[in-house]
Structure formats: C-alpha cells, structure tokens
A and B are shown apart, each in its own frame.
Chain A
Amino acid sequence: MADDAIDAALVARAVAGDAAAFNRLVERWQDRVFRLARRFFRRGEDAEEVAQEVFMKLYATLPRYRADAPFEHYLLRIATNACHDKLRWRRSRPETPAGDRTGETAAWLDRALRGRAVEAAQAEEARGLAADLLDRLPPRDRIVLVLLDLEGRSSAEVAEATGSTRAAVKIRAMRARRALRRLLTEVPEEKP
C-alpha cells in the first residue's frame, strides 16, 4: 500500500474512534514533525511541546481531513501554524538577549560558518548566537526560509502550508534573505 493510502486508512480508522490507529499515525510522523519544530526551537523540550501540540490539533481536526490531498500537506500546515504561534509567543518573551554573548562567540560562529572545525562547547555557544540572530526574523519570514531552503519545499507547498500565495511566498523569501544578510553584519568575518 502506498504511503498516502496508509495514512488515509489510518485517518479513517482514527476518526471512527480507533485509538491504536491514531497512535500509529503519531508514530509514523513524530520524527518529521519534531525535526521541523527543532529547526525553530533549540531546546528539545520546546520542540517536543510543539510536536505534541501539533498532534493534539491533528486529533481535534482529523474529521475535517479530506483524503484528496496528501496527508503530509495537511500535517505540515498544522505544524507550520503551531511553530508560528510558539515563535510569536517566544518573541514576546526573549530568554537570553543576544547582547549578552561575547565577541568571542561571534568569532566561533564565523569559523563555523566558514565550515571550519570548532570545539563542542564553542560550537554550542556559536549555535546559540546563530539561533538568537534568527529569532530576530519575523516568524512567518523565518518559516518560509526554513521550508524553502532547508526543507527543500516548493513555493507552492510553502504557500499551502502558510495559507498564502506563491507570489507572496517568493516576495517574503526575498525580503527574509535580505534581512538574513543584514544579520551577518553582527558576525564579522575573520581576516585571512
């Protein structure tokens, strides 16, 4: 049976009240949903909280799913919305201001961006700075960039996931890439 057909069958059974079918659906998709959440949330607990919220929303809206579209697209839309909501919530409550990090961290991040080896502890700090910088992007812009550039989704898929149009997605991506390049001014390049 093809993947789409398996998902459609599991959804039909879950809607009919089969708890085991819903469990199976969660197990089939939990890693993908978690990895997407992890793109936006460095802490595993946060990513897991978002993933859990995604499956709870899925359960609540499952009767609305129509099998004429791939289940993955349906789930991606729920996951995108959940990540967006959490990003917006977190943006209003910053945990560690980027200004607290030292100039040394920027140097480590620069090394990492060049593809050079960085010690584990320094890499962790550098990753923290990179994540802080990305947190400054508007949530919707960041989601579009991650889906397009890291997840390899087409602009049509991103438009569907974000409830937007292809043209709007392209414009948003262009604007977000420009903002991303501006963020790099805070990571000075080491002179060769």
Chain B
Amino acid sequence: MTTCRERRATLRRGMMSALDDETRRHLQSCKACAEVRRAGALLAYGSGADEETGPRPGFAGRVRAALEARAGSAAPAAWTDAVARLLAPSLAVASVMAILAGGFYVGLGGSGDLSQVVESDPILGSVVAVHGGALFASPDERPAFEGRP
C-alpha cells in the first residue's frame, strides 16, 4: 500500500492528470495530502508548467548580434584604456618637467615676480591674450568687459 509520504512526491508536481484513482480517493479523506496537492497545483499553475514554448524564431541570431554589439561597445573602451595607461606616466613626467622648467626660468631671470615675466616675455605674453594683466589684478582693478569682437 502506498504511504502518504510516497504519494506526496507526485502530489507536489501538482498535475491532476498524473493522479491515479486510488490517489484521488485518498485525497478526499487525507487533509494533509490534499493540502500538499493544492500547494503543488499553485506552484505548477503559476509557473506555466503546462506551457511547452520556446523563444521566438531567430533567437540564436539575436544572441549573436547582442554579443557583437557588446564586443563593439567594449572595444574602444579597452583601446582608450591601453592608451591612457601608456600616456599617463609620460604626461605626468612632462607636467612635472614643465613646472620645474618654469621655476628655473623665473629663478634665472632674477626678478622672481611671475607677473613681470609674463608681461616682458614675448612667449608667455602671447599666451595671455588681450588683457593679460587682468589675470593678476585684484577683482576691483579688473578692466570692464568691452564686448564681443
């Protein structure tokens, strides 16, 4: 004779069609097994257990396209990352050297006043375009904006 414990493995699958007549009769008298069957039925019904479906046609092609799109978007990131790794140390060294060179230039020039160097040096003077003095003047002395050219 089948025990309740043995029956429950089938009952948990929740399929009424899978039940034999003996089990159906048993369910009318055993409340615990009936509850297990009902819970199994809820799981099966809410989980689309009876639906034999597959993805829409062309699924493999869509996966391939998604992989290619992901690879395409990832490639520039990897490239820029590599460039950044190579260039970052060089840029850092160049920046330090530029600062040091600026310091030596000011020191050897003898004035020690950066604003004078900017005004007298043709290169630095050209960098500071129209109102070079405005960069070093206090806000109160700054000349009024003359409008767009």
Hey, which bits of chain B sit against chain A, CB under 8 A?
12-14, 16-17, 35-36, 38-49, 51-56, 59-60, 62-64, 66-67, 70
Q: Separation in Å of the A46 CB from the closest CB of chain B?
A: 12
B residues less than 8 Å from A26 (CB atoms): 59-60, 63-64
**Contact partners of B40 in chain A: CB under 8 A:** 149
Residues of A within 8 A of B16 (CB): 114-115
Q: Can you add 13 more A-B contacts, CB < 8 Å, to A27-B60, A149-B14?
A: A26-B60, A26-B63, A35-B52, A35-B54, A38-B51, A56-B67, A127-B46, A134-B43, A149-B40, A150-B44, A177-B39, A180-B43, A181-B35
Residue on A nearest B37 in the bound complex, by CB: A113
A152→B13 CA distance, assembly (Å): 9
Cβ of B14: which chain A residues have Cβ within 8 Å of it? 149
Question: Does A103 interact with chain B (Cβ within 8 Å)?
Answer: no
A114 vs B38: C-alpha distance in the bound complex, in angstroms? 8
Report the Cα distance A52→B55, complex, angstroms: 10
**CA distance in complex: A61, B49 (Å):** 30
> Knowing A35-B53, A44-B53, A149-B12 touch, does A184 contact B38 (C-beta < 8 A)?
yes
Would you call the interface of chain A mostly helix, strand, loop, or mixed? helix
CB of B42 within 8 A of CB of A130, answer yes
Known: A30-B60, A134-B43, A177-B39. A52 touches B66 (CB 8 A): yes
Which residues of chain A come closer than 8 Å to B41, judged between CB atoms?
112-115
Across the interface, which residues of A come within 8 angstroms of B64, CB to CB? Answer: 19, 22-23, 26
- Of all A-B residue pairs in the complex, the 7 with the closest CB atoms, nearest first, are A130-B46, A115-B16, A31-B54, A26-B60, A134-B46, A39-B47, A113-B41
* Chain A proximity of B78: nearest CB distance (Å): 14
Query: Quick check: A34 and B66 within 8 Å, CB to CB?
Result: no
For B53, the closest partner residue in chain A by CB is: A38
Report the bound CA distance from A146 to B45 in whole Å.
11
- Indicate if the CB atoms of B60 and A145 lie closer than 8 Å: no
State the total of A-B contacts with C-beta under 8 angstroms.
110
**Interchain CA distance A56-B70 in the complex, whole Å:** 9
- What are 14 residue pairs bridging A and B, where the CB atoms are less than 8 Å apart in the complex? A23-B60, A26-B59, A31-B55, A35-B52, A38-B51, A44-B55, A52-B63, A56-B63, A113-B42, A126-B45, A127-B45, A131-B46, A149-B43, A180-B43
What's the least CB distance linking B20 to chain A, in Å? 14
> Could you say which residues of chain A place their CB within 8 Å of the CB of B39?
177, 180-181, 183-184
Q: Would A133 and B46 be within 8 Å (CB), given that A19-B64, A113-B41, A180-B39 are in contact?
A: yes
Assess whether A109 is interfacial by the CB under 8 Å rule: yes
Among B49, B54, B56, max chain A CB count under 10 A is at B54
Complex formed: what's the CA distance from A127 to B49 in Å? 11
Most chain A CB inside 10 Å of its own CB: which residue of B38, B40, B52, B63: B63
Smallest CB gap from B54: residue in A: A31
CA distance A146 to B13 in the complex (A): 9
Distance (whole angstroms) from the CB of A117 to the closest CB of chain B = 11
Residues of chain B within 8 A (CB-CB) of A30 are 54-55, 59-60
Query: B residues within 8 A CB of A48?
Result: 55-56, 59
